[in-house]
C-alpha cells in the first residue's frame, strides 16, 4: 500500500537532499588546461550516449509507469550533470577573457609587430576560448535534449494514467462466466500456495517465524509506549476531563489517531523485515504478505480516525455535531467502506501475484465499486445532524441538502460508472473517497489543532502548558512562544507525512516524490539564482553553533583568564565585547559560506549600500566606528565617573552604537558614541580614583582672617578620609565689608567618596566656628532707648483712647445674646 511506504520515501528524500547540498556548497573545479577540456568533451559525449540509451528504454517500457518514473529521474540527473560540466568551464573562460583584456587589441596594420611570445599566447588563448565556447554550446544542446526527453516521459505517463482511468470494459454474461472460472482456479492455486508455505514454515522455519513476530511486537510496543509517555499530556490527562476544551479534543483526536497507527505500521514493517531477513518468506508469498500487512495498516488507520472524530461511545469528545445513533452508523459505514476497498486491493494483488487473468481483477473491482457506491447512498439517507445546543442522545436530523446531494450523486455515479464498464475510474474514485478522504480529514484536524494551540493565550489552557508553567515557571509570553513553536511543528509534521500520502494515492510514484524533494531542498530557482534549503539550514545551524561557542568562549575568557589576571571591570568588559563581536562575525561568515552564498556576488549589493550609507546611514556608521574606537582606545571604561555635556554619572555599558551612563538619580542616559568621540568628556576615574575636592566657606567680614584660616587648616588636617600627601590647603580667596571668602582644597584616595567627606567636613567646620566664636553672619544690633516728655505721653494716650472709642460700638447697641 502507498501508506506503508511512507517511511522509505522520507528517508530516501532526505538522503537525496543531503547529496546535492554538498554539491551546491562546493565550488566547481576550474578547467585549467587542454587535458581537462578533453575530459569535459569526453564527458559530454558520454552524456549524449546516455540520452540515447534512456530514449530507447523509454520506447521499450512505455507501458510500465514505475520504470518510466525511474527513467525520468535518470534523465533529470543527467541534465544536472551536463549543466555542471558547462558551469565548470566558466572560471577558465573568465580567466581567458581577463588575460585577453590585459593583452589588449592586436597591433593595427602598419604598426610595429608584437613579440613572438605574445602572438603565440594570443593564438593559444583564442583557441582555448573557442573550444570552451564549443563545449558550452554542445552542453546546452544536450541539456535541451534531456529536458525534452523528461517532458516526453511525463506526457507518456499522463496518457497511461488517462487510459487506465477511462478504459471501458463490456459488462456482460461472458465477462462474469470467465471471471467465475478464473476465480475457481485462483482459489485453488492460492490455497495450495499458502498451505505449502505454512507447512514449510512450521517444519523448518518455526523458530524464525516466532522470533520475527516477537521482535515485531516488541518494536511496536516500545514505539507505542514511548509515544504515549511522550504525548501523555495530550491524551492520558485529557481523557480524565468530563467536559474537555475544544483544543483538548482536537489534540486527543489527532494524537490518538497518529500514535496507534504509527505503532501498527511499525509492527507491519518490522514483521515483513524480520520475516524476509530470516528467510521465512518465499518469492511467491512475499508480495501477498506485504500487501496484507499494508491493507491492515490502512484499514486500522481509517477506523481509528473515524473513532477519533465521531467518538461513538462518548459525545463529549466528538468533533462534529452528530447524534449518538448517527455517530455509530457513520462509523460502521466508514469502516465497511474501508474493509471493502482494502479487500479489493488485496484480492487484486493476489491475482497479480498468481498470474490470474485480468478479467478477474476487473470483476472484483466492479463489485467493490458498487458496494462502496451503495454505502454512500445509505450514508446520504441517515439522519445524524444536531443543531447547536442539542444533547448528544437527541434524535438526529437529515443532512443539509448540499451534503445529501453530494453523497447521493457520488454513490450513484460509482454504481452507474461500474455498470457502464468504467470500472477503473469507479475503483479510482472509490479509493480516493476512502483513503484520500481519511488522509485529508487527518490533515484538517491537525491544522485545526496546530492553529488552536498557537492561538494567543491558548497553550496556557492545555495540560502541557500548565505542566510547563508549574515545573519551569514560564510566563504568559514564554508559553505563547512555546505554543507557536508547537503549532508550527504540527504543521511541519502534517506536510512531511501526509502530503506524500495524498500524492501516492493520486498515481504518483515514490521516485516522483524523491525528485520533487530533491528540487525543493536543493534547486529552488528564481531567475538565474538557485536556492538550496539544505544549504540554508546548514548555514543557520552552523551560525547558531558559532554563537553558542562564542558565548561559551566569552564566559571562559572572562571567568578564567581575566579574573585570574586581576584585570579591572572595564578591561574585562572591553575584551568580552570584542570577543563577542569577532565571534559573531566569524559565525556569520561560516554560516554564509555553508549556505552556498558566494560573497563575491554581494559586491554589487555592497556598492549600492555604500551609497545609502554615505547619505542616510552616516550617523549609524559614525556611531559604529566611534564605538570601535572607544573599545580600542578606552578613554573611559565601565564603572568610570564621567561628565559629558549636561550628563554626569557612571558608565554602565559600552556598545558599538551607544554608551549607557547612569546618573546619580539612577536615570540611564543613552549617549551616541559619536557625541563622546567628537565632544569633551570629563573622566574623574580615568587612570585612578585620586581626586581633589574644593569647598568654599564664607564668614562675616568682622572676623580675623588669619584666625579663620588657622581654624580651617586644623579642621582639615584632623578630618578622616583626606590625604596628607598632597597636603590639604586653605586659600583666602576674597573679602568685602560683609564677608570673608575661603576655599578648602584637599585630596581623596577615592573621589567617589567625595560627597560623604564633604558633608562630614562641613559639620566639623561649623562646630569649630561655634566653639571659637567666629561669626558666620552679621552680629545683632544693640537696643537704643527712646525718651518721651510727660506732655507728649499724655497726648499720645488721649489720641489712642479716642481711636478706640470710635472703633468699638456703644454697649447699648450691642446685639443681644
- Phi and psi, residue 812, nearest 5°: -70, -30
639: left (phi over 0), alpha (psi -120 to 50) or beta: left
594: left (phi over 0), alpha (psi -120 to 50) or beta: alpha
For 663, the 3-state DSSP assignment is strand
pLDDT tens across 202-255, in order?
888 888 878 888 888 787 777 767 666 655 555 554 444 556 666 677 777 877
Task: Look at the alpha carbons of 629, 630, 631, 633 in this order and tell me if their dihedral is positive or negative.
Answer: positive
Average pLDDT along the chain:
78
Task: Check: CB of residue 33 under 8 Å from CB of residue 89.
Answer: no
Task: Look at the alpha carbons of 355, 359, 363, 369 in this order and tell me if their dihedral is positive or negative.
Answer: positive
pLDDT tens across 679-704, in order?
888 888 877 778 888 889 889 888 88
C-alpha 233/C-alpha 239 separation (Å) is: 10
pLDDT tens across 99-147, in order?
888 877 777 777 777 778 877 888 888 888 888 888 888 888 888 888 8
C-alpha 372/C-alpha 380 separation (Å) is: 13
Detail the DSSP E strand segments found in 174-277: none
For 15, the 3-state DSSP assignment is helix
Q: Over 50: is that where the pLDDT of 2 sits?
A: no
Q: What cell does 618 get?
A: 552616516
Task: Compute the radius of gyration of the chain from its Cα atoms.
Answer: 47
pLDDT tens across 475-506, in order?
778 888 888 888 888 888 888 878 887 777 77
Which residues are CB-contacts of 736 (< 8 A; sequence separation ≥ 6)? 701
- Please give the average per-residue pLDDT across 605-621, as a whole number: 62
- Specify the range with the lowest mean pLDDT, choosing from 157-171, 175-189, 523-537, 628-642: 523-537
- Phi and psi, residue 695, nearest 5°: -135, 120
Q: What cell does 51 get?
A: 540520452
Amino acid at each position: 500500500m502507498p501508506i506503508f511506504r511512507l517511511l522509505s520515501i522520507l528517508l530516501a528524500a532526505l538522503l537525496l537532499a543531503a547529496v546535492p547540498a554538498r554539491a551546491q556548497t562546493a565550488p566547481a573545479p576550474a578547467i585549467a588546461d587542454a587535458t581537462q577540456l578533453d575530459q569535459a568533451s569526453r564527458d559530454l559525449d558520454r552524456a549524449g550516449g546516455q540520452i540515447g540509451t534512456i530514449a530507447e528504454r523509454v520506447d521499450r517500457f512505455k507501458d510500465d509507469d514505475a520504470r518510466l518514473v525511474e527513467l525520468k529521474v535518470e534523465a533529470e540527473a543527467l541534465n544536472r550533470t551536463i549543466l555542471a560540466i558547462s558551469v565548470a568551464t566558466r572560471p577558465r573562460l573568465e580567466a581567458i577573457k581577463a588575460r585577453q583584456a590585459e593583452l589588449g587589441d592586436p597591433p593595427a596594420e602598419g604598426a610595429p609587430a608584437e613579440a613572438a611570445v605574445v602572438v603565440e599566447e594570443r593564438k593559444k588563448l583564442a583557441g582555448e576560448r573557442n573550444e570552451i565556447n564549443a563545449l558550452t554550446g554542445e552542453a546546452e544542446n544536450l541539456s535541451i535534449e534531456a529536458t525534452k526527453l523528461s517532458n516526453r516521459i511525463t506526457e507518456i505517463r499522463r496518457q497511461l494514467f488517462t487510459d487506465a482511468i477511462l478504459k471501458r470494459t463490456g459488462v456482460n454474461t461472458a465477462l462474469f462466466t470467465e471471471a467465475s472460472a478464473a476465480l475457481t482456479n485462483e482459489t485453488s492455486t492460492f490455497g495450495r500456495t499458502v498451505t505449502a508455505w505454512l507447512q514449510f514454515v512450521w517444519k523448518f522455519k518455526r523458530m524464525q517465524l516466532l522470533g520475527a513476530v516477537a521482535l515485531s511486537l516488541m518494536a511496536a510496543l516500545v514505539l507505542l509506549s514511548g509515544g504515549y509517555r511522550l504525548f501523555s499530556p495530550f491524551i492520558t490527562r485529557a481523557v480524565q476531563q468530563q467536559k474537555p476544551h475544544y483544543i483538548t479534543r482536537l489534540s486527543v483526536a489527532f494524537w490518538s489517531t497518529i500514535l496507534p497507527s504509527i505503532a501498527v505500521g511499525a509492527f507491519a514493517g518490522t514483521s515483513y523485515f524480520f520475516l524476509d531477513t530470516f528467510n521465512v518468506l518465499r518469492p511467491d508469498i512475499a508480495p501477498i504478505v506485504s500487501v496484507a500487512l499494508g491493507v491492515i495498516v490502512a484499514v486500522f488507520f481509517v477506523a481509528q480516525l473515524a473513532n477519533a472524530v465521531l467518538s461513538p461511545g462518548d459525545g463529549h469528545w466528538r468533533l462534529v455535531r452528530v447524534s449518538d445513533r448517527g455517530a455509530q452508523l457513520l462509523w460502521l459505514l466508514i469502516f465497511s467502506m474501508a474493509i471493502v476497498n482494502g479487500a479489493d486491493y488485496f484480492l487484486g494483488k493476489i491475482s497479480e501475484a498468481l498470474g490470474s487473468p485480468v478479467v478477474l481483477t476487473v470483476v472484483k473491482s466492479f463489485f467493490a465499486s458498487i458496494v462502496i457506491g451503495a454505502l454512500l447512498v445509505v450514508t446520504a439517507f441517515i439522519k445524524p445532524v444536531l443543531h447547536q445546543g442539542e444533547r448528544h442522545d437527541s434524535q438526529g436530523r437529515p443532512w443539509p441538502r448540499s451534503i445529501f446531494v453530494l453523497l447521493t450523486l457520488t454513490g450513484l455515479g460509482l454504481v452507474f460508472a461500474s455498470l457502464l464498464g468504467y470500472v477503473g475510474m469507479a475503483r479510482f474514485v472509490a479509493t480516493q473517497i476512502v483513503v484520500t478522504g481519511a488522509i485529508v480529514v487527518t490533515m484538517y484536524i491537525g491544522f485545526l489543532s496546530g492553529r488552536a494551540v498557537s492561538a494567543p493565550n491558548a497553550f496556557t489552557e492545555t495540560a502541557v502548558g500548565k505542566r510547563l508553567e508549574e515545573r519551569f515557571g514560564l510566563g504568559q509570553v514564554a508559553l505563547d512562544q512555546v505554543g507557536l513553536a508547537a503549532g508550527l511543528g504540527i504543521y511541519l509534521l502534517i506536510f512531511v507525512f501526509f502530503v506524500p500520502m495524498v500524492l501516492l494515492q493520486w498515481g504518483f510514484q515514490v521516485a516522483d516524490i524523491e525528485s520533487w524533494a530533491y528540487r525543493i531542498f536543493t534547486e529552488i530557482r528564481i531567475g538565474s539564482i538557485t536556492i538550496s534549503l539544505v544549504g540554508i539550514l546548514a548555514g543557520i545551524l552552523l551560525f547558531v553553533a558559532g554563537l553558542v561557542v562564542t558565548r561559551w568562549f566569552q564566559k571562559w575568557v572572562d571567568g578564567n583568564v581575566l579574573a585570574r589576571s586581576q584585570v579591572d571591570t572595564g578591561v574585562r568588559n572591553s575584551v568580552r565585547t570584542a570577543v563577542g563581536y569577532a565571534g559573531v562575525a566569524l559565525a556569520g561568515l561560516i554560516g554564509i559560506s555553508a549556505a552556498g552564498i558566494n560573497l563575491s556576488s554581494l559586491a554589487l549589493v555592497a556598492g549600492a549600500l555604500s551609497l545609502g550609507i554615505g547619505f542616510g546611514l552616516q550617523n549609524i556608521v559614525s556611531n559604529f566606528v566611534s564605538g570601535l574606537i572607544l573599545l580600542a582606545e578606552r578613554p573611559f571604561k565601565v564603572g568610570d565617573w564621567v561628565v559629558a555635556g549636561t550628563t554626569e554619572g557612571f558608565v554602565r555599558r559600552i556598545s558599538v552604537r551607544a554608551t549607557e551612563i547612569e546618573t546619580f538619580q539612577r536615570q540611564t542616559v543613552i549617549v551616541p558614541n559619536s557625541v563622546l568621540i567628537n565632544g569633551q568628556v570629563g573622566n574623574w576615574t580615568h587612570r585612578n580614583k585620586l581626586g581633589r575636592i574644593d569647598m568654599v566657606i564664607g564668614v562675616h567680614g568682622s572676623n580675623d582672617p588669619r584666625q579663620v584660616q588657622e581654624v580651617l587648616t586644623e579642621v582639615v588636617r584632623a578630618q578622616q578620609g583626606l590625604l596628607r600627601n598632597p597636603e590639604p590647603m586653605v586659600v583666602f580667596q576674597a573679602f568685602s565689608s560683609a564677608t570673608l571668602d575661603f576655599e578648602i582644597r584637599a585630596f581623596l584616595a577615592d573621589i567617589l567618596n567625595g560627597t560623604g567627606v564633604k558633608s562630614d567636613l562641613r559639620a566639623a567646620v561649623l562646630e569649630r566656628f561655634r566653639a571659637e566664636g567666629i561669626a558666620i553672619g552679621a552680629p545683632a544690633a544693640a537696643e537704643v532707648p527712646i525718651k518721651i516728655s510727660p506732655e507728649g505721653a499724655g497726648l499720645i494716650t488721649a489720641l489712642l483712647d479716642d481711636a478706640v472709642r470710635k472703633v468699638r460700638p456703644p454697649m447699648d447697641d450691642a446685639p443681644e445674646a
